[in-house]
């Protein structure tokens, strides 16, 4: 990747892009620079047609230890409007990640605390090392995990959120897997291979169809099954059936070949 960032490293292998949080000496705590660079990086990757999957990981001993506490102190001393504006910027990025049109995979090792856990929960798939540790410590220092709460509660479930969001207790990767927050749990040595396997599964799928499916999931999960929702789902499949991707996918299946989109990100 050609983009240059101070706190991130971007790499691409075929259709798979990797975004690495790169403040290892600070356990990848989210500084002002990182908070500005993450939205820019994902905006760049969202526009790159060659990228069909994004993996988010951390350099060093941790995935991400949360927001830089010095930054949080400065924000608290700022004028009320400035304090809220900074919070709103961060909140918008978590939504940007959650609604990103391409599949996202969190590659988690070490600590995923506070905002770092928010990054994990905003991704589509979470693959974690058996030694990973999760925590929402905000209430222990007088803060509230507000901006990440929509994603955390969806990923870990309301019952678990009531305990861990309020208590600030740490919990293991095995506990995160049991509550459904982690999709796959592997030894540290097998982490990259597990992430790659899932990334390649996504890369084999039609990019437009995946974007539509991601949007549809947000619309239907938890929604009442009304006549309006049923009508919407019918419109989605009708539109998909008429798409060039569907024509190519069906033709490739009948001709026993790989569809054209599997070659587009291979360079």
- Which residue do the tokens 């908070």 mark? 35
Give the pLDDT mean for 143-171.
97
- Map out the domains of the chain as residue ranges: 8-203, 207-264
CATH classification code of 207-264: 1.10.12
The percentage of the chain sitting over the pLDDT mark of 70, rounded to a whole number, equals: 96
Question: Are the C-beta atoms of residues 112 and 126 closer than 8 Å to each other?
Answer: no
- CA 45/CA 74 separation, integer angstroms: 31
Average pLDDT estimate for 190-196: 99
CA–CA separation, 23 and 43 (whole Å): 21
How far apart (Å, rounded) are the C-alpha atoms in residues 66 and 68? Answer: 7
Whole-number pLDDT of residue 266: 52
- Does residue 267 register a pLDDT over 60? no
| pTM for the structure as a whole | 0.95
CATH of domain 8-203: 3.90.226.10
Phi, psi angle pair for 111, to nearest 5°:
-85, 135
- 93-116, pLDDT tens digit by residue? 999 999 999 999 999 999 999 999
From the list 6, 37, 130, 138, the catalytic residue is: 138
CA distance 234 to 172: 41
pLDDT, tens only, 53-73: 999 999 999 999 998 877 777
Mean pLDDT of 128-133: 99
The position carrying tokens 């905002």 is 115
Mean pLDDT score of the chain: 95
Do the first three CATH levels of 8-203 and 207-264 match, i.e. the same topology?
no
What was the pLDDT predicted at 71? 72
For 59-104, give the DSSP string: STT-SB--B-HHHHHHHHHS-HHHHHHHHHHHHHHHHHHHT-SS-E
pLDDT at 250 over 80: yes
pLDDT value for 264: 64
Please, what sign has the CA dihedral across residues 261, 262, 265, 267?
negative
Query: Chain-centre distance of CA 64, in angstroms?
Result: 13
pLDDT tens-digit profile of 204-246? Answer: 999 999 999 999 999 999 999 999 999 999 999 999 999 999 9
| Better pLDDT: 74 or 152 | 152
| pLDDT at res. 148 | 98
- How far CA 164 is from CA of 94, 109, 149, in Å, comes to 20, 19, 11
184 tagged catalytic: no
Q: Put residue 121 in one of left, alpha, beta given phi > 0 → left and psi -120 to 50 → alpha.
A: alpha
**How far is C-alpha 13 from the chain's CA centre?**
18
Q: How do residues 2-17 score in pLDDT, each as one tens digit? A: 578 999 999 999 999 9
């Amino acid at each position: 990747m050609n983009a240059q960032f101070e706190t991130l490293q971007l790499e691409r292998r075929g259709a798979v892009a990797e975004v690495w949080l790169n403040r290892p000496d600070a356990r990848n705590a989210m500084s002002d620079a990182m908070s500005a660079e993450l939205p820019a990086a994902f905006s760049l990757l969202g526009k790159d047609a060659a990228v069909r999957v994004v993996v988010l990981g951390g350099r060093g001993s941790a995935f991400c230890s949360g927001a830089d506490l010095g930054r949080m102190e400065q924000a608290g001393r700022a004028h009320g409007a400035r304090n809220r504006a900074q919070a709103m910027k961060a909140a918008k990025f978590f939504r940007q990640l959650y609604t990103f049109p391409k599949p996202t995979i969190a590659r988690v090792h070490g600590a995923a605390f506070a905002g770092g856990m928010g990054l994990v929960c905003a991704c589509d798939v979470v693959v974690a090392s058996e030694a990973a540790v999760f925590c929402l410590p905000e209430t222990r220092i007088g803060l509230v995990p507000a901006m990440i709460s929509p994603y955390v509660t969806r990923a870990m479930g309301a019952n678990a959120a009531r305990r861990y969001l309020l208590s600030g207790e740490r919990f293991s990767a095995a506990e995160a897997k049991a509550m459904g927050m982690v999709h796959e749990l592997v030894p540290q040595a097998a982490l990259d291979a597990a992430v790659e396997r899932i990334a390649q599964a996504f890369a084999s799928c039609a990019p437009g169809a995946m974007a539509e499916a991601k949007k549809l999931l947000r619309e239907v999960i938890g929604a009442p099954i009304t006549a309006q929702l049923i009508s919407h789902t019918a419109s989605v499949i009708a539109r998909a059936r008429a798409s060039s991707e569907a024509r190519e996918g069906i033709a490739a299946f009948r001709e026993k070949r790989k569809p054209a989109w599997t070659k587009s990100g291979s360079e």
